[in-house]
Amino acid sequence: MGEAVIEVDDVWFGYGDRPVLKGVNLTLESGKISAILGTSGCGKTTLLKLIAGQLRPQRGAVRFRGRVVHTMNDRQLYQMRREMGMMFQMGGLFSDLSVFDNIAFPLREHTHLPESMIRDLVLMKLQAVGLRGARDLFPTELSGGMNRRVCLARAIAMDPSVTIYDEPFAGLDPISLNAVARLIRELNDSAGITSLVVTYDISESLKVVDTIYLLSEGVIVSQGAPKALSENRQDAWAWQFIHAEPDGPVAFTLPAAPLMQDFRLTQPTSRSASGA
């Protein structure tokens, strides 16, 4: 195993009386791409917020390079987050800024680099995602796939040691989806960074990641290399999710009161049943 960059140790978290995470354990190794897969609403984004220190676990701990995240002060949290690049689920580009200025924003905000160096860095990041020619466009002028690639360029603008991708393949056509997946793999390998992909997309995840963690019912129910998980019929959780089987341990219906009780239906009395 490589060096542990992020460790999630028996983490519990819930909203009010609704538990979301119920003892999650996982380790992200240096230089590897890990994926957290799960159905919508299973707690993937909540787990990201715990890793970034936006939320505090109710039990357990998240560690970044051996340090407990929720015990860090503001300065330490700020320093940790500077090491992280984030590709947001909804993109999050500034609509009133050009593509160039969107990518330059974190460099201007967090560094004292001269504008000439920022220009070179922005063009290098755009070149890496194949969009140097779109530098003067605005987000509303981009296609969905182009928007995702600009978000990817912004996520790596500060040369982070850890990059987190929240649903990077959502809403993309097959060509754009494949291009973004390939870029994630190439950027990870060329820069030697540690990457975390949070998604429910199976096909592309299997192609580009090193380790899969399958999150369901608040815990990691299965983990391993993509090929091993996809071929293991004995792992009911992984088999159902990876092969999109309708029946299995992952339930489609959220637990609820009996339907008759919910609608307050009662059996007809013998009088009304007889038509009297």
Count up the domains in the chain and report the number. Answer: 2
128-187 pLDDT, tens digit per residue, is 888 888 899 999 998 877 888 888 889 888 888 899 888 887 777 777 778 788 888 888
12-58 pLDDT, tens digit per residue, is 999 888 888 999 999 998 889 999 987 777 788 899 899 988 999 99
Res. 69 pLDDT band, cuts 50 70 90: very high
| pLDDT for res 276 | 47
Q: Is the domain of 269 the same as that of 166? A: yes
49-62 pLDDT, tens digit per residue, is 999 889 999 999 99
Q: Is 65 exposed, middle or buried (0-12, 13-18, 19+ CB in 10 A)?
A: middle
End-to-end CA distance of the chain: 78
- Domain of residue 210, residue span: 4-83+161-274
Q: In this structure, how many other beta carbons lie within 10 angstroms of the beta carbon of residue 62? A: 22
Q: Is the domain of 105 the same as that of 170? A: no
Asked if the structure places residue 90 within a domain, the reply is no
pTM: 0.77
Asked if the structure places residue 232 within a domain, the reply is yes
Last residue of a domain, one of 105, 134, 159: 159
Q: Is the domain of 216 the same as that of 270? A: yes
Last residue of a domain, one of 105, 140, 159: 159
